[in-house]
Structure 1
Amino acid sequence: MSAADIFAEGFKAQPYWWDAAEPETDLDPLPARADAVVIGSGYAGLNAATELARAGLDVVVIDGERIGEGGSTRSGGMVSSGQKLVVGGAIKGIDPELFNRMIGDSISSFDYLQNLIQGEGLDADLKITGRFFGAHAPSLLQPTWHNGRILAEKTGVTVHLYDRANQRHAIGSDYYHGGIVVDEYGGLHPGKYHQALRQRARASGAKLRSHAKAGPVQDADGGLKRVPTTRGDILARHVVSATNGYTRKDGHPDLARRVVPVKSYQIATEPLPADLIETLIPRARMISDTRRDVIYSRPSPDGTRILFGSRPGFFEREDRDAAPAIYERMTEIWPELKAYRISHAWSGFVAMTVDKVAHMGRRDNSDFAVGCNGNGVALMSYLGYQTAQKILGRQNRTTAFDREQFTAVPLYSGNPWFVPIVAAWYRLQDWYERR
């Protein structure tokens, strides 16, 4: 199938998730004053806003685009606890005591998300189906198994080891050289989850306003902060910055030196036969592998399609232009999918940090929670909640992600000029290992 033939009739260059729950526009006037302004309408921002509003504060959430336009509704929707810290290699260079606390908070984030969705009856299509981590080269199987054993020890999850001879019990592909399956891993529908969070925030009394791009937060009289926006200024006692992969130097100059936006691309197939999906991805597991140039895949929550994410190469492209390269990577793993077209292609920015972990704290005259590092559904929801608890003085203890040390990226001021170089180096190393 040629590149031009991979697009299904009615193809959309927008997130598949938006078919069920599209971002919102709210152009009602901004209040001149509020107790708290939340900048960014993603999972962190909306969870923070709800907690503050439920405590009786007058809260407004602002976003430079539509409410939910950014990374939260563009993600793969995969949900985990501490797995990313261990399997992703973030354990390196972190004090063991701090690492154990991070694992504890990561597990708490997983519990928080499940309790939130189930306890408040949110429509989010959350399912705990497990995740397969594939070794893309023979030399990486033993390290993957080793990480799996550490993961089980540190987090208490159930880990199954597979060699290449029996990996088809875990994934319907011969691409990998074995891997592991973690049972306590799942996925949700990012669009529906965000829509439910919007409804929850409004029901709690928070105001949500779109198309209000914020500038640098300034000190004002009486201990207040001035939040300048393209729709007017707001005076507030508290400001929460939850901009993550959309942190800009013209809005948050200090944070922007510490958070690198990396564009990740996804595609969705047209509807597939149910038996084919079960064959390719048994038990509707989440899929990822050991490549530095990350791939991730999953069935759609309704079980009708396969979604696949990656980068198309070294340089950024328009979503439709990137789709053929993403499609090629997908069909390398599952050649059976060459018989099917794609219905959606989209992208969004992931927030990367030097130490590969998220951060809470106070910079740019605001409390912040940023740095999902591709693991944000549960963790950023939880850190938004924790940021609100911190403002309200209700924390039993400081979270492990709330620390003064937040390393700036060398020679970086908000323009990620080095991402193509890093991407090329990652892909070269992946190629060499597989070769």
Structure 2
Amino acid sequence: MQSDIFTEDFTTDPYWWDETPRPEPGRPDLPQRVDVVVVGSGYTGLSAALQLARAGRSVLVCDAEEAGWGCSTRNGGQISRSIKPGYEELTRRYGADTAFGIIREGANALDWVTDFVAAERIDCDFAVPGKFTAAHSSVEFEKMARAAENQPEGLAEPLRVVTRAEQHAEIGTDAYYGGIVNESTASLDPAKFHAGLLDRVREAGVLIAARCPVTAIEEAAPGFRLTTGRGVVRARNVLVASNGYTGAVSGWQRRRVIPIGSYIIATEALPKALMDRLMPTDRMLGDSRKVVYYYRPSPDRTRILFGGRVSAGETDPRKSAPLLRRDLAAIFPELADIRVSHSWMGFVAYTFDTLAHVGCNENVHFAMGYCGSGVSMSGYLGMRVAQQMLGLKEGRTAFDGIGFPTRPFYTGRPWFLAASVAYFRWRDGWSR
């Protein structure tokens, strides 16, 4: 570990926590009985809790850590319509109608978070700057350009091809081969968004029990008996909303999500002229690698936030920081000597079919597996699963009924991850 690359005030807390620290957990007395217990206090759990409480249900949200301690306040704040499998692949799997509906859910999720922030007046630096996705090879640029020009009818996004000769208007580097601008991609400060959502949930009468892990969920007709770190609670319904932090207490769901650490650094404050040259717009940024990098200017345009996967297995953010800094400097050589003020990580949840899932198993409801696109999809599906729990027809989604696959012998520990990362990193470097 290179200690000289860190600023004097370096921290492994997320950059977003500087302005929005984790709320004091408090120790409220737990009720003996509620209508719904929600396991997990991230975007999914809080969005569902808000919908349920406003429909008149009594709701308890339990979390093993402080409210929003997980990836809901650790992500990069990029919001796209992204659904990982493309329309053609989804059509082969499920048929054209279901494929169309699944792709549309990405747009629905983006619309939801846009409307929610406005309607609830949440101050979270929400903006729609668009995103520039850079091609890491000439082969990838040609593929991206063809895809942009041949989008499925009714599913078109506002895409614009940017050639290598034009890319300095989007990003101050020659490391890429052009790319695509998607004008619909939005951004926010994830910790501020979570804080605003938490405020609305509390105002609706939801009880938040932080540092109160759920250690057992047992059916006890006509509902459930939950053992927590602070006592036993009975509930009519249970929602598991733990995503990348899903544990053994919900083993069926745990066998179906793959926790993958996503690592991010924040640079020290940069001169305005340098920021303007490297990132001339406020767009979100990413590239076409399978082992992807994602980055952006901070909302105040003083720093670069740079994220990606730089190790085969999980590691300490102090060890990932030099690797991310090295890769950042490969894109922007001017930053070779820049120091790092923050380095942190959070667990996102992938699935074996690279789709989000929402539904119910053995009377336990769930929404999870956002595959790196959770800023909008998590809150959107939290709202939808709550509507399903309320018996509302509006709760229907295109993900319903497609099955939630796992693999033999998989119990929630991704022993195959190192080999998969190595393979995709090899593929990323294969074609130029």
Smaller-chain TM-score range? over 0.9
- Is the contact made by 1:87 and 1:147 (CA closer than 8 Å) also made in structure 2? no
* Secondary structure of residue in 2 paired with 1:114: helix
Q: How many residues are aligned here?
A: 431
The structure-2 alpha-carbon separation of the partners of 1:270 and 1:212, relative to structure 1 and needing over 3 Å to count, comes to: same
The structure-2 alpha-carbon separation of the partners of 1:195 and 1:379, relative to structure 1 and needing over 3 Å to count, comes to: same
TM-score (norm 1): 0.95
The structure-2 alpha-carbon separation of the partners of 1:134 and 1:87, relative to structure 1 and needing over 3 Å to count, comes to: farther
Corresponding residue of 1:239: 238
1:146 corresponds to 2:141:
no
Corresponding residue of 1:56: 56
Cα distance in 2 between the residues matched to 1:83 and 1:260: 17
TM-score (norm 2): 0.95
Letter in 2 for 1:63: D
Cα distance in 2 between the residues matched to 1:91 and 1:72: 31
- Is the contact made by 2:387 and 2:394 (CA closer than 8 Å) also made in structure 1? no
The structure-2 alpha-carbon separation of the partners of 1:189 and 1:364, relative to structure 1 and needing over 3 Å to count, comes to: farther
Cα distance in 2 between the residues matched to 1:20 and 1:398: 37
Cα distance in 1 between the residues matched to 2:59 and 2:320: 39
Structure 1 position 339, deviation (Å): 3.5
The structure-2 alpha-carbon separation of the partners of 1:280 and 1:86, relative to structure 1 and needing over 3 Å to count, comes to: farther
Structure 1 position 340, deviation (Å): 2.0
The structure-2 alpha-carbon separation of the partners of 1:124 and 1:88, relative to structure 1 and needing over 3 Å to count, comes to: farther
Structure 1 position 154, deviation (Å): 4.6
Corresponding residue of 2:34: 34
Cα distance in 2 between the residues matched to 1:162 and 1:259: 36
Tell me which of 289, 292, 309 is aligned to 1:291. 289
The structure-2 alpha-carbon separation of the partners of 1:161 and 1:387, relative to structure 1 and needing over 3 Å to count, comes to: same
Cα distance in 1 between the residues matched to 2:345 and 2:36: 31
Corresponding residue of 2:99: 99
* Secondary structure of residue in 1 paired with 2:13: coil
Structure 1 position 379, deviation (Å): 0.7
- Is the contact made by 1:79 and 1:186 (CA closer than 8 Å) also made in structure 2? yes
* Secondary structure of residue in 2 paired with 1:146: helix
- Is the contact made by 1:90 and 1:356 (CA closer than 8 Å) also made in structure 2? no
- Greater displacement, 229-238 / 84-93: 84-93
Structure 1 position 196, deviation (Å): 0.5
- Is the contact made by 1:162 and 1:180 (CA closer than 8 Å) also made in structure 2? yes
Structure 2: which 5+ runs fail to align?
none
Structure 1 position 229, deviation (Å): 1.6
Corresponding residue of 1:134: 134
* Secondary structure of residue in 2 paired with 1:283: coil
Please provide the CA RMSD for this pair: 1.9
Corresponding residue of 1:188: 188
The structure-2 alpha-carbon separation of the partners of 1:139 and 1:149, relative to structure 1 and needing over 3 Å to count, comes to: same
Cα distance in 1 between the residues matched to 2:149 and 2:205: 46
1:372 corresponds to 2:370:
yes
Corresponding residue of 1:5: 4
* 1:256-302 deviation per Cα after TM superposition (whole angstroms, max 9, x unaligned): 11100001100001111223222212221111111111110011112
Corresponding residue of 1:204: 204
- Is the contact made by 1:280 and 1:334 (CA closer than 8 Å) also made in structure 2? yes
- Greater displacement, 378-387 / 403-412: 403-412
- Greater displacement, 182-191 / 227-236: 227-236
- Is the contact made by 1:64 and 1:213 (CA closer than 8 Å) also made in structure 2? yes
Q: Once the two structures are aligned, what percentage of the paired residues are identical? A: 39
* 1:171-217 deviation per Cα after TM superposition (whole angstroms, max 9, x unaligned): 11111111101011021000000000110100011011111111342
The structure-2 alpha-carbon separation of the partners of 1:428 and 1:39, relative to structure 1 and needing over 3 Å to count, comes to: same
Structure 1 position 397, deviation (Å): 5.9
Corresponding residue of 2:175: 175
- Is the contact made by 1:132 and 1:180 (CA closer than 8 Å) also made in structure 2? yes
Corresponding residue of 2:391: 393
Tell me which of 289, 307, 310 is aligned to 1:309. 307
Q: How does 1:236-385 map to 2 (within 5 A)?
A: 236-248=235-247, 250-363=248-361, 365-385=363-383
Structure 1 position 315, deviation (Å): 2.1
- Greater displacement, 97-106 / 291-300: 97-106
Letter in 2 for 1:23: R
Cα distance in 1 between the residues matched to 2:88 and 2:290: 9
1:423 corresponds to 2:411:
no
